């Protein structure tokens, strides 16, 4: 890992985990039906079985307040298995609330982050500040850009800071600022992460980080198979190299084949997960790889996120969702992690085992 290209916060992140690369997987332990019914212990056992060391999940204000004991149990279970948690914080009101002002959003975000981070200070080291707010802020057909230009087309590429609606952007900025400040107020050593929905949406980060100087520690990107190769997007840009200009460690906190194994494409999902895990692990510009997601969610049907999981579920006793089998992609991801860990142990044992 080229330390000279990355600031001190990445060195701190490595020291806290004892690893130079972070393998993780996503779940919805507080917001989706299958994750409510499959026991927390089972979810964490599956993460540990993969060889991953991180579990990322969404955590709203209501989800935290209503289920604090569940959150406490999730963390205790993770610690028992030597896993790290990566909560994605959603405040209320948040940027997507049409009735809230930017000031109200920032205040609510600060209060929520300070509350939840204060409870877990020193035990949870990383916090993601909402999810894909760049997509919400994107300019839409019929709106005017910040420059005054009328946007007359469909989805913008996102590579230009002018590709984002001014009013929505200001609300997004307010929530990210509030969440970041709340995290740091409760735990100055904790690290904050800002993500994007992926593709070439770096115009959002250019405006957020370089124009408005909004502070955060780690840049996260989401990437799905239809986007092609992240190091050669449409044959014109190595996105990993391009993103180095923001001087942030780069994590991939969502990745999978689009639609997962839907329509019988289980082997295709496995091939994509295994191949990209190995490729991106070998890239020194990337510090983490989190597959989306752990469990299938069949209740979303044909048009939704029903088949992204590495683990299939089926209705069992009392008509509740239970783990039915590990899919082919589970083994593909596990194999990629094991190969990486074995290689790291051979090449850099001092780095991997030097931290407390």
CA distance linking residue 20 with residue 10, whole number of Å? 9
What's the CA gap between 200 and 190, in Å, rounded?
A: 28
Q: Per-residue pLDDT for 15 more than 70?
A: no
- Size of the chain, expressed as the number of residues it contains: 356
35-66: pLDDT as tens digits:
999 999 999 999 999 999 999 999 999 999 99
Residue 326 sits at the vertex; the CA angle it makes with 259 and 127, to the nearest 5 degrees, is 65
Cα(317)–Cα(84) distance, integer angstroms? 31
Among residues 83, 161, 180, 152, the alpha carbon closest in space to that of 124 is found at 83
- Torsion of the alpha carbons at 267, 221, 289 and 242, rounded to the nearest 10: 100
Report domain extents, the chain: 3-353
Tell me which residue of 210, 66, 44, 58 sits closest to 128, measured CA to CA.
58
Q: Residue 185, by phi and psi: left (phi above 0), alpha (psi -120 to 50) or beta? A: alpha
Q: What residues have CB less than 8 Å from 204, skipping those under 6 apart?
A: 134, 137, 158, 161, 163, 164, 196
The answer on pLDDT for 27 being more than 70 is yes
β-sheet bridge partners, residue 219: 194, 250
What is the pLDDT at residue 142? 96
- Tell me what pLDDT residue 348 has: 53
Residue appearing with tokens 């994750």: 35
**Mean pLDDT, rounded, of the chain:** 92
Give strand pairing partners of 290.
24
Tens-digit pLDDT profile for residues 149-207: 999 999 999 999 999 999 999 999 999 999 999 999 999 999 999 999 999 999 999 99
> pLDDT digit string (tens) for 255-271?
999 999 999 999 999 99
Least confident of 3-7, 105-109, 309-313, 315-319: 3-7
Average pLDDT in the 218-236 region?
A: 96
pLDDT tier at 345 (50, 70, 90 boundaries)? low
Reply yes or no on domain 3-353 having CATH 3.20.20.80.
yes
Q: List beta partners, residue 336.
A: none
Confidence band, pLDDT 50/70/90 cuts, at residue 5: very low
Structure-block tokens of residue 2? 């080229």
pLDDT tens profile 123-155: 999 999 999 999 999 999 999 999 999 999 999
Among 61-65, 273-277, 303-307, which is the least confidently predicted range? 303-307
Place of tokens 């955060």: 216
* Cα distance between residue 131 and residue 89, in whole Å: 8
């Amino acid at each position: 890992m080229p330390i000279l290209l990355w600031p001190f916060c990445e060195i701190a992140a490595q020291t806290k985990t004892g690893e130079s690369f972070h393998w993780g997987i996503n779940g919805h332990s507080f917001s989706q039906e299958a994750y409510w019914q499959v026991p927390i212990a089972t979810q964490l056992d599956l993460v540990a079985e993969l060889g991953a060391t991180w579990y990322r999940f969404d955590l709203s204000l209501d989800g935290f307040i209503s289920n604090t004991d569940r959150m406490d149990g999730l963390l205790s279970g993770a610690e028992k298995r030597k896993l790290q948690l990566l909560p994605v914080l959603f405040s209320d009101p948040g940027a997507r609330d049409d009735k809230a002002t930017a000031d109200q959003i920032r205040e609510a975000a600060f209060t929520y982050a300070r509350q939840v981070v204060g409870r877990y200070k020193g035990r949870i080291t990383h916090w993601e500040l909402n999810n894909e707010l760049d997509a919400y802020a994107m300019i839409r057909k019929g709106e005017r850009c910040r420059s005054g230009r009328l946007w007359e087309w469909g989805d913008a590429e996102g590579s230009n800071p002018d590709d984002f609606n001014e009013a929505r952007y200001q609300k997004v900025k307010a929530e990210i600022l509030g969440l970041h400040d709340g995290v740091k107020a409760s735990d100055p050593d904790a690290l904050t992460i800002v993500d994007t929905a992926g593709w070439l949406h770096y115009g959002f980060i250019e405006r957020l980080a370089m124009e408005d100087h909004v502070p955060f520690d780690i840049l996260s990107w989401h990437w799905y198979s239809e986007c092609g190769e992240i190091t050669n997007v449409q044959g014109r840009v190595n996105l990993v190299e391009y993103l180095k200009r923001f001087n942030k460690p780069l994590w991939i906190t969502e990745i999978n084949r689009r639609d997962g194994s839907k329509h019988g494409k289980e082997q295709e999902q496995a091939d994509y997960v295994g191949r990209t895990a190995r490729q991106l692990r070998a890239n020194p510009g990337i510090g983490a790889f989190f597959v989306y997601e752990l469990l299938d969610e069949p209740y979303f049907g044909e048009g939704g996120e029903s088949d992204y999981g590495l683990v299939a579920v089926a209705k069992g006793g009392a008509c509740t969702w239970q783990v039915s089998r590990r899919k082919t992609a589970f083994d593909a991801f596990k194999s990629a992690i094991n190969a990486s860990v074995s290689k790291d142990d051979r090449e850099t044992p001092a780095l991997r085992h030097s931290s407390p």
